[in-house]
Amino acid sequence: MLKSVLIANRGEIACRVIKTARRLGLRTIAVYSDADADALHVAMADEAVRIGGPFARDSYLKMDAVIAAAKQTGAEAIHPGYGFLSENAGFAQACAEAKIVFVGPPASAIRAMGGKSEAKALMAKAGVPLVPGYHGDDQDPARLEKSADEIGYPVLIKASAGGGGKGMKVAQKKSEFRDQLASAKREAQNSFSDDRMLIEKYLTRPRHVEIQVFADTHGNCVYLFERDCSIQRRHQKVIEEAPAPGMTVALRQRMGEAAVTAAKSIGYVGAGTVEFLLDADGSFYFMEMNTRLQVEHPVTEFITGLDLVEWQLRVAAGEKLPLAQDQLVLNGHALEVRIYAEDPDRDFLPQTGRITHLRFPAETAHVRVDTGITEGKAISTYYDPMIAKLVVWDRDRGAALAQLRRALAETEISGLVTNTAFLAKLAGNKAFAKADLDTGFIGRHEKELLPSVPAAGDEALLLAATGLLLSGRSVAEDDPWSVADGWRLYGGGQDHLSLIDISGGQAIHRIVFDYAKGGFVFHLKKSTMLVTATLSSEGRLGAELGGRRVWAGFAKSGDDVTLFLDGASYRMRQAPIAMEDEGAEAAALRIIAPMPGRIIAVHVAEGTQVEKGAPLAVLEAMKMEHVLKAGHSGTIEHVGCKPGDQIREGQELLRFAAPG
Ligand code: ADP
């Protein structure tokens, strides 16, 4: 076995690799950027080396800095994790030249699969089935459009260097082709400095099914079954599971063997994943091979009972694969959800900010939480906005789903918008429970899934107000004159506070109440409601509302309040001064910038009539283009931005005229 390993990565995957390496007795070395000096992976490792500034290109992508860190600490091997340098053939080469073991395939195998176009050409030769398409060198837009015409619409325009769904656009019809090509090229140029495109037939209801393969340096290669990653947004995985629902033994074997053929044809070593699109009729097509450990590898670990990082380290040390194909067993069902800092209700825009409150379910034989973040830390624009992976296992899919729903209900994150409530809706969705899966699932079920967090109703508002009022009490419990319980010398009087429902379209709610014994009497529009409650220092709010007992989570940071109730998290802000009730209708007239960025295009002018869902403007943020769409039909009254504008989060971009 190896004696030491440097992990050239950050976040959850760095932490996850460190855990296994440590269990196997290896000395672990972390590297970090200035933005990560107090990150969890740094604290977990035996040693840590600073490698540069916060931008990935100045640190985690800087090959010589990583290699120098390995030399300086005498690291025998480098584990690249996923992303960053993990699929960089030059880095694998540089490790080899520096006599450091690269925990991954040889540079030649990475190179072979590096470009989607080149990989496809290779796979065609090896007899692995491909989606009909054009992956040639001639990049003349006319040539690309001609091949799209030949393939037949809809087509998918994909960056050859692509990854993470960037530089990938669908052209539904010929008239859309040139615009979508231009947009894909811009994104690809921005993200990969390479805007070569390939064109593919766009399958309308495929499933994403991928095969985990493993090869050693002794000529052995096995497949560790499949994962279904069909639940995607913006062509990016959201939920992954293993095994794929409905998979037959025969199809599994055919796909598994095709994946092994692909791996063997390029002299593969280590962990890899061959991604396929699976059509309704059982035909499957090669998409790409990821020559590294995948984000979603834990579901495979759960159903096989294996530790894939342990296998990686053993193979890197020159050992044989621990098991042969016929020794591998598949047991039960596992699901993984990716918890992201993103706003599902605004087209899944990535979010940044500090995590002010963080609770995960306890880890058990059924629940695993992979994360690299702790309370108080920030999700910045420098790196991927994934906060954690929640992975569950049980004897079958139904039982695993029940585990997932529970685990999500026990997850509380505040300080920034996450997709947790959206994931909870997915986990509770009937069609998902029936495993009616394909990559268009989220789009097709949008009405049931979004908005993921409804506008706060009376119950959520009163609980948030109660939490706020109770949290104010802890200031000086024993001094009756400073306790904020509203006790007044000359008898009680009505008081009020204003809450802005941030997730519910910024509506302002004025809440009027009286102080009562053990709680408050709230004056609603037509009735009153007595709420008695206690708030623990851990943020557990136990309340009785009109005779009903409820439990909620409550977190407060400055003026921001988050209430966790029945799997949803309501974000609110206490208005510094009393504000008048504005209501959701007025708030819905404003189009607010969901995050900082740059305006690329504005599709409307003052006086334009738009239908619900019509594109209004395009915002570029975190290297992706996001289309802001009309939430309802109406007339644009005011346009407050133009292409090229750099904008702040929360800035008003457009305003609708009030109806009537
Ligand atoms: P990336 O490397 O950017 O993640 P992939 O090539 O892996 O891009 O594709 C990501 C996802 O896009 C797939 O999982 C699938 O949902 C969708 N996709 C890719 N190619 C096609 C296609 N030809 N037809 C339909 N959907 C596709």
SS3 letters for 207-219? EEEEEEEEECCCC
**Helix, strand, or coil (residue 313):** helix
Do residues 403 and 391 make contact, with C-beta atoms less than 8 angstroms apart? no
Specify the amino acid at residue 112. A
Query: What's the 235 CA to ligand 1 centre distance in angstroms?
Result: 6
Task: Supply the CATH classification number for the domain 4-103.
Answer: 3.40.50.20
Residue 340 structure tokens: 């992201």
The residue annotated as part of the active site, out of 111, 207, 233, 292, is 292
Atom 10 (ligand 1): residue with closest C-alpha?
235
Which residues are registered as beta bridge partners of 290? 273
Nearest to 64 by CA among 106, 94, 28: 94
Q: Rounded to whole angstroms, how far apart are CA atoms 308 and 109?
A: 19
Supply the DSSP string of 48-63, one letter for each residue.
EEEEE-SSGGGTTT-H
Element of type H or E holding 638 = strand 634-639
Nearest to 355 by CA among 201, 560, 160: 560
Which parts of the chain sit beneath pLDDT 50? 474-484, 486-491
Fold held by 207-449: D-amino Acid Aminotransferase; Chain A, domain 1 (3.30.470)
Residue 574: exposed, middle, or buried by beta-carbon count in 10 A (0-12, 13-18, 19+)? Answer: middle
Q: Rounded to whole angstroms, how far apart are CA atoms 220 and 227?
A: 22
Query: What's the 328 CA to ligand 1 centre distance in angstroms?
Result: 29
Q: Rounded to whole angstroms, how far apart are CA atoms 631 and 629?
A: 6
Do residues 303 and 348 make contact, with C-beta atoms less than 8 angstroms apart? no
Query: What's the 275 CA to ligand 1 centre distance in angstroms?
Result: 9
Which residues are registered as beta bridge partners of 599? 619
Domain spans, the chain: 4-103, 132-201, 207-449, 458-575, 588-656
Task: Supply the CATH classification number for the domain 588-656.
Answer: 2.40.50.100
Within 6 Å (CB) of ligand 1, which residues are found?
A: 131, 156, 158, 162-165, 168, 200-203, 206, 208, 232, 235, 275, 277, 287-288, 439
Between helix 11-23 and helix 308-316 the angle, nearest 10°, is 70
Q: What is the pLDDT of residue 585?
A: 65
Select from 86, 168, 210, 438 the residue to mutate for testing ligand 1; criterion: most ligand atoms less than 8 Å from CB.
168
Angle ∠(330,102,239) on CA atoms, nearest 5? 40
Q: What are phi and psi of 178, to 5 degrees?
A: -65, -40
- For the CA of 165, the nearest atom of ligand 1: 3
Query: What's the 164 CA to ligand 1 centre distance in angstroms?
Result: 9
Atom 11 (ligand 1): residue with closest C-alpha?
235
Query: What's the 156 CA to ligand 1 centre distance in angstroms?
Result: 8
Do residues 616 and 601 make contact, with C-beta atoms less than 8 angstroms apart? no
Residues 6+ apart with CB under 8 A from 250: none
The separation between CA 573 and the C-alpha centre of its own chain, rounded to angstroms, equals 25
- For the CA of 237, the nearest atom of ligand 1: 14
State the distance between the two ends of the chain, measured CA to CA, in whole angstroms: 75
Atom 14 (ligand 1): residue with closest C-alpha?
208
Largest CA distance in the chain: 89
Select from 113, 187, 208, 295 the residue to mutate for testing ligand 1; criterion: most ligand atoms less than 8 Å from CB.
208
Q: What is the pLDDT of residue 42?
A: 98
Q: What is the pLDDT of residue 475?
A: 36
Q: Rounded to whole angstroms, how far apart are CA atoms 351 and 129?
A: 38
- For the CA of 439, the nearest atom of ligand 1: 16
Query: What's the 285 CA to ligand 1 centre distance in angstroms?
Result: 11
Task: Supply the CATH classification number for the domain 458-575.
Answer: 3.30.700.40
Q: Rounded to whole angstroms, how far apart are CA atoms 232 and 562?
A: 27
Atom 18 (ligand 1): residue with closest C-alpha?
235
Atom 22 (ligand 1): residue with closest C-alpha?
202
Select from 118, 197, 287, 292 the residue to mutate for testing ligand 1; criterion: most ligand atoms less than 8 Å from CB.
287
Atom 2 (ligand 1): residue with closest C-alpha?
163
Q: Rounded to whole angstroms, how far apart are CA atoms 142 and 177?
A: 10
Residue 73 structure tokens: 């600490």
The correct CATH number of 132-201 out of 2.30.40.10, 1.10.490.10, 3.40.1360.10, 3.30.1490.20 is 3.30.1490.20
Whether 540 is catalytic = no
Q: Rounded to whole angstroms, how far apart are CA atoms 102 and 529?
A: 64
Query: What's the 635 CA to ligand 1 centre distance in angstroms?
Result: 36
Query: What's the 481 CA to ligand 1 centre distance in angstroms?
Result: 64
Q: Rounded to whole angstroms, how far apart are CA atoms 80 and 84?
A: 8
Distances (CA, A) of 508 to 324, 580, 634: 62, 7, 22
**Full-model pTM:** 0.85
Q: What are phi and psi of 173, to 5 degrees?
A: -145, 170
Residue 201 structure tokens: 């037939």
- For the CA of 232, the nearest atom of ligand 1: 16
Select from 155, 191, 235 the residue to mutate for testing ligand 1; criterion: most ligand atoms less than 8 Å from CB.
235
Q: Rounded to whole angstroms, how far apart are CA atoms 427 and 238?
A: 11
Q: Rounded to whole angstroms, how far apart are CA atoms 566 and 146?
A: 52
Q: Which residues of 57-79 are buried (b: 16+ CB within 10 A; e: fewer)?
A: eebbbbbebbbebbeebebbbbb
